[in-house]
Every structure is written in C-alpha cells, then in structure tokens.
Amino acid sequence: MMNSWANLGFDLHIELPQGIGIRAALLQTLRDAIDSGLLKPGTRLPPSRTLALDLGVARNTVADCYAELAAAGWLVTRPGSGTVVATLASTHSREVDPSPTRRRLTYSLLPGSPDASAFPRTAWISSARRALTTAPTDAFATTDPRGRVELRNALTTYLSRTRGVRVDPSRIVISASSGHGISLLARALGGTIAVDAFCLHLHRQLLVDEGLLTIPISVDESGTCTDELVSTSAESVLLTPTHQFPLGGPLTPARRATALEWASTTGGVIIEDDYDGEFRYDRKPVGALQGIAPQHVAYLGTVSKTLSPAIRIGWMVLPDRLIEPVLATKGPYERWVSSTDQLTLADFIESGRFDSHIRKMRTSYRRRRDQLVATLAQQVPRVRVAGISAGLHAVIRLPSGTEQSVLAAAQARDLGLEGLSVFRHPDVSSVGGDGIVVGYSTPTQSQYSRTLDVLCEVLQEVSTAIVSSPLAAIYGAFCGHGFSPRTAR
Ligand SMILES: Cc1ncc(COP(=O)(O)O)c(C=O)c1O
C-alpha cells in the first residue's frame, strides 16, 4: 500500500509491507521512518483520524500504534498538542553503537545484511511462545554441544528437502553462525587451507586466527578454479559453490567434479559455505555439493541471510570423521547458542513459517535485484552487474584503478559501499580487481529506490571523470573487459 503523507508538510512516500497485517505493518513502517531519520525528532505526526483516512484503515488501528510507540519511547503524546517523534528516538541507535565504522549512514548498500525491517517478528514470537510452552524441562538446563535435538530433527528434513543435503540428526552440530562453524572446523583441521583469491575476508581471518595457512586459488565468474587444488599443499578448501562470494558465479559442474575428485584422492576436506542457497531467482538453485559426497564435505548453513544475523544460529553437517574432533573443540556442553532460540527456530521451520518467510523474501530480493539491474541499465548503461541472479548482493566490476574514486564519491554522499578489493587475499596482486559489492538487501524498502539513485549518481560522476580523462583509452568502458585473479596473481 503506497501513500504520500502530504499532510505531514513534507513528501514522504511509504509502502506498508504486505502480509503481516495493517497494525504490524504500520508499526514497522513508523519505527523504520524514525530510526532512519526520515521522521526527525520533534516532527508532528498527523492526527490519527487523518492518517487513518489517508491509509484507508480504522482510526483505532492508528491510535493503537501511536499508543504502542509512545509506550516504547519512540513518540511523545501530549494532550492538546498531538503526537510528535521523541527526541531520544532517533539518537538511540547512535548512543548504543559508538563505533565509527558502524555509524548510521544516510544510505547503505553494504553487503552482509538481509532486509532487517522484514524480520518476521510476529511469526517468530508465535514460534517462541509455542516452543517454550511445550519444551521439556531439560531444555532449560545445560545442553548437548551438538545442539537441541528438536532443531537437528527439523534441519534434517529441511536441508534434505530444500538443498539435497544427505543428513541425519547425529551428523549435525549447531553453531552460532557460519563463521563460528569455520572457526571450530579450523581448530579441528589445522594445517593449510585453500581459499578463493576473493572471498569473505572475515572468514579468511578466522582461519588465520586459528593458525591455518591460507593459500589463494583463482576465481572467476564460473566460480573457483578447482583444478588448481592439485598443485597446492592444501589439506582442505573453503568454497561457496552455489554462489561464489563475492563474484557471484556458481561452481560449474566440471569444477564441482574436480573438487570432489581432489577430495577423494587426497583425503582433503571441502568446507561448503552454503550461505545464501535459498535465494536463486532465475531457476531452481543447484543442490549442495555435500549431497554428492557427504564424507568429503563439511556443509555449513546459517540464518544470517534468511532471517537475521542477530539470531546467531548456524549449523554444520559433518563427515563422520570430523564429528568428534569438532565436538571436542566446541566443549562438553552448549556454550554458544541459546537453547530457547534453537527451540524457536525448530518450531519456525516445522510450522512452515520459515518456508513462507523465505518465499516472501525471495520475491522481494528478486524484485530488488531486477530493479538494480534496470536502474543501472537506464542511468549508467555502461555498467554491468556480474554474476547469476541470486543472493543478496551483486558485483559491479570497474575499470582498473577506479575503485577508490567510486568509494570516495559514495562517501561524499554518505552512501555505504564495499569495494571488491576488501575481499582480495593479501597474496593476490591488486591489478585488475576493481569493483564494488552492492548489498541490495540492506536498505529498507522505503529507502531502496532513492538509494539506487544515489548509487547511479556516484557511478555517473566517476564515469564522466574517466571518459573526459586522457587516460580513458587505457581504462576502457566500465566492465567492458574481463578481470580474473588467475591473470592477476
Ligand atoms: C560468504 C558468506 N558466508 C556466510 C555468511 C554468513 O555468515 P555468518 O553466519 O557467520 O553470520 C556471509 C554473510 O555475509 C557471507 O558473505
């Protein structure tokens, strides 16, 4: 439902999210508008009768929402002077998060976050209520380090049905995230591990922190060049086969086969980070590599993309030989993940709420990606989005030497953007690896179009500077020529 609140004295377009009921949608929209600064402290909201008329909803619904937000401290209601945004409301998040790198940006396309405003609050609360009402007493005591059996049972059905994972509950170990799983596996495996020349830097650092030596192998738009594994001394490899992070290619069938052959002939372990396998938009997602060789692949999953990184739940499906070593590194009882959250997630999955949330978000993210591609095609036609139609991020490759200019132009507009170079392994040459990684799931829906316009302004500005520069000939058109870390190394 789109509305323009002209009666507020300024032009604020809002879109009430569908499918969660008017009251929840209005609460969420108002909270987001205050939190993002669209509604500034002191702004007077329209009388509940007027807003109800604008939105075509009952006046009581609006009055209830105002009362609830006032009780929570977002709004202040004064008899005779109406309802205004509270002074503390918009400064709240800045006060609790003083980190300069995490300061609130006006616009953000930083990758790594799902649409936080779409978290299914009501459905999650229903699952929590049911799970905790029916939980056995031992759920509130110290728990098995493999994780709650209710969650391992739910994941067994879910992972085999949706991702083709070969699994039974005894081979699942619950973790706090994929990153936590990577740390536990690294501690159990030790030695040398191959990683993509461009991969999630945070995960690579976790491996280094556990004392592993990381060896970069080349990656291009067809995924990891797994044929290079045989010429390394690696005993394990970290892959994102369904949707290579960050470049966005799926591992081709030939490269999947090469990786599996390497694992079976050398005894090497493939760590499969299936971080966004639920989100493929142009076809059914390719099944997990683990489904082909469960004794050679340690499979990692997480709710960080499907639900929220704030939940802190991930899972590993392990080859038999790794179960005990990983449990030994995890400790004698569960120290990381809340049992009550595990029970809630188990109910969330078994009740079908997880599937319906994913279906809803798949539609939303597909639309966002389509809008990104269409907007760029219209406003900056020389730019090309790399990778398959999947996931929550897209890569825009840039002419060599331009990444820093794009990031500086973005910073000048208070737009958060991540450069591709952040993800480059330190042993890989920087030549030819320029680009930006666009997290299109990060803005709230109401801010999305404006954020894309700002991105286009940034790209237009840099593109114009390049074209008018005497160096234009060596830069070439935006993304017109390929880049491969294979040649860059
Ligand atoms: C490649 C990759 N794997 C996994 C994740 C999720 O990580 P975690 O479960 O540690 O929050 C992300 C999040 O950005 C990612 O980019």
The tens digit of pLDDT for each residue in 390-402 reads 999 999 999 888 9
Report how far residue 423's alpha carbon sits from residue 205's, in angstroms, rounded to the nearest whole number: 11
What would the DSSP string read from start to end of 201-218? HHHHHHHHHTTPEEEEE-
Report how far residue 59's alpha carbon sits from residue 154's, in angstroms, rounded to the nearest whole number: 42
Q: What is the CA radius of gyration of the chain?
A: 24
Report how far residue 62's alpha carbon sits from residue 67's, in angstroms, rounded to the nearest whole number: 9
* Per-residue model confidence as pLDDT tens digits over 27-54: 778 877 887 777 888 888 888 888 888 7
Cβ neighbours around 328 below 10 Å, total: 13
Q: Is the CB of 302 under 6 A from ligand 1?
A: yes
Atom of ligand 1 nearest to the CA of 199: 1
For 153, the token pair is: 């049972």
pLDDT (0 to 100) of residue 467: 62
Which of 110, 198, 200 to probe ligand 1 with, by most ligand atoms within 8 A of CB?
200
Report how far residue 42's alpha carbon sits from residue 36's, in angstroms, rounded to the nearest whole number: 15
For 184, the token pair is: 């536990």
The residue among 114, 290, 269 whose CA lies nearest residue 191 is 269
Strand partners, 223: 220
- List the chain pLDDT tens, one digit each, 489 residues: 555 554 454 555 667 777 667 877 887 788 778 877 778 888 888 888 888 887 888 888 888 778 767 766 778 877 677 888 887 655 444 344 445 455 678 999 999 999 999 999 999 999 999 999 999 999 999 989 999 999 999 999 999 999 999 999 999 999 999 999 999 999 999 999 999 999 999 999 999 999 999 999 999 989 999 999 999 999 999 999 999 999 999 999 999 999 999 999 999 999 999 999 999 999 998 999 999 999 999 999 999 999 999 999 999 999 999 999 999 999 999 999 999 999 999 999 999 999 999 999 999 999 999 999 999 999 999 888 999 999 999 999 998 889 999 999 999 999 999 999 999 999 998 777 899 999 999 999 999 999 999 999 999 999 887 666 544 433 344 443 333 444 333
Torsion of CA 252, 254, 258, 263, to 10 degrees: 60
Q: Is the CB of 179 under 6 A from ligand 1?
A: yes
- Three-state secondary structure call for residue 456: helix
Q: Is the CB of 112 under 6 A from ligand 1?
A: yes
- What is the sign of the dihedral through the CA atoms of 29, 35, 40 and 42? positive
pLDDT (0 to 100) of residue 92: 44
- What is the sign of the dihedral through the CA atoms of 111, 112, 117 and 123? positive
Tell me which DSSP letter residue 483 carries.
-
Strand partners, 215: 194
The pLDDT mean for the chain works out to 88
Task: Please state the three-class secondary structure of 116-156 as a single string.
Answer: HHHCCHHHHHHHHHHHHHHCCHHHHCCCCCCCCHHHHHHHH
Q: Is the CB of 273 under 6 A from ligand 1?
A: yes
Structural domains in the chain, sorted by start: 2-97 (1.10.10.10), 121-352 (3.40.640.10), 355-488 (3.40.640.10)
For 297, the token pair is: 């692949």
* Per-residue model confidence as pLDDT tens digits over 166-224: 999 999 999 999 999 999 999 999 999 999 999 999 999 999 999 999 999 999 989 99
Q: Who's near 91: CB < 8 A, 6+ residues apart?
A: 41
Atom of ligand 1 nearest to the CA of 245: 1
For 181, the token pair is: 């799983």
* Per-residue model confidence as pLDDT tens digits over 376-428: 999 999 888 999 999 999 999 998 889 999 999 999 999 999 999 999 999 99
Atom of ligand 1 nearest to the CA of 112: 14
Ligand 1 centroid, distance to 246 Cα (angstroms): 11
Atom of ligand 1 nearest to the CA of 179: 10
Report how far residue 388's alpha carbon sits from residue 408's, in angstroms, rounded to the nearest whole number: 28
What would the DSSP string read from start to end of 18-47? SSS-HHHHHHHHHHHHHHTTSS-TTPBPPP
Report how far residue 184's alpha carbon sits from residue 269's, in angstroms, rounded to the nearest whole number: 14
Q: Is the CB of 402 under 6 A from ligand 1?
A: no
Beta strands 385-386 and 435-439 are unpaired
Cβ-contact 174, 151 below 8 angstroms: yes
Cβ-contact 278, 162 below 8 angstroms: yes
For 130, the token pair is: 């049911």
C-alpha distance across the termini of the chain, in Å: 51
Ligand 1 centroid, distance to 1 Cα (angstroms): 33
Report how far residue 17's alpha carbon sits from residue 25's, in angstroms, rounded to the nearest whole number: 6
- Three-state secondary structure call for residue 9: coil
Q: State residue 155 phi and psi, 5-degree precision.
A: -70, -35
What is the length of the chain?
A: 489
